[in-house]
A and B are shown apart, each in its own frame.
Chain A
């Protein structure tokens, strides 16, 4: 399974944008890039995913490098409720792998008022 590398922690100020980086230099052509986050004492929740093109949804934006070896999760205006551990995950699309998610250690984002 291809691996991801993320900073252990990042800090942000409330209402400012946050850019969370992820390196995945061994990504294969059929791996989707997924982002999940885990708020304190909760299960992970889906944030966004993409394959090659940049993606936007109500929670965040995902910017994918042209060579797909890195990506960046963008929170446009951080709130205190965005304080969480953010996981960048490569998800194989091959059916017989069961859509497994391989979690790394993630980036712990703290948001200051």
Chain B
């Protein structure tokens, strides 16, 4: 199993450009997440999905859109990049747990480093 993979590893954008970050997992996990991490800080949740065709907002969703057309893929889009979106983006996935007390852990990808000039 490759686990969670992210494409691309690094990207430089100019302000106003658009791009899509791809996250793929081969573990048949239901839940997927997009986080961003700014220097010296912990991760902040952007959007997440609890299953194919569903998405929900996290802590910092503004300026981002997401789609989950296939169970194994979770796409993060920046329609008009801004310098404030310079960050490292991490994707994660975990299996579903529908009962109170579920204990599934999240599996993280290696990250995408994005620089917006």
Contact = CB atoms under 8 A, between A and B. Distances in A.
Interface stretch (A15-23, A68-76, A103-111): A103-111
Given A34-B105, A93-B102, A95-B100, A44 B58 contact: no
A51 B109 CA distance: 26
B48 A98 contact: yes
Contacts of B31: 98-99
A43 interface: yes
A2 B102 CA distance: 18
B111 A42 contact: yes
A101 to B, nearest CB: 6
Interface residues of A, number: 25
Contacts of A32: 103
B43 interface: yes
A41 to B, nearest CB: 8
Contact of B42 (A42, A43, A87): A87
Contacts of B111: 41-43
Interface string B67-108: 000000000000000000000001010100111111111111
Interface residues of B, number: 33
Nearest to A101: B106
Contact of A42 (B101, B104, B105, B110): B110
Interface in A57-113: 87, 93-95, 98-106
B50 A43 contact: no
B98 A49 contact: no
Contacts of A87: 42
Contact of A43 (B45, B59, B90): B90
Contacts of B92: 43-44
Contacts of A104: 42
A7 B111 CA distance: 25
A103 B43 contact: yes
Interface string B8-40: 000000000000000000000001010100001
Interface of B: 4, 31, 33, 35, 40-45, 48, 50, 56, 58-59, 90, 92, 94, 97-111
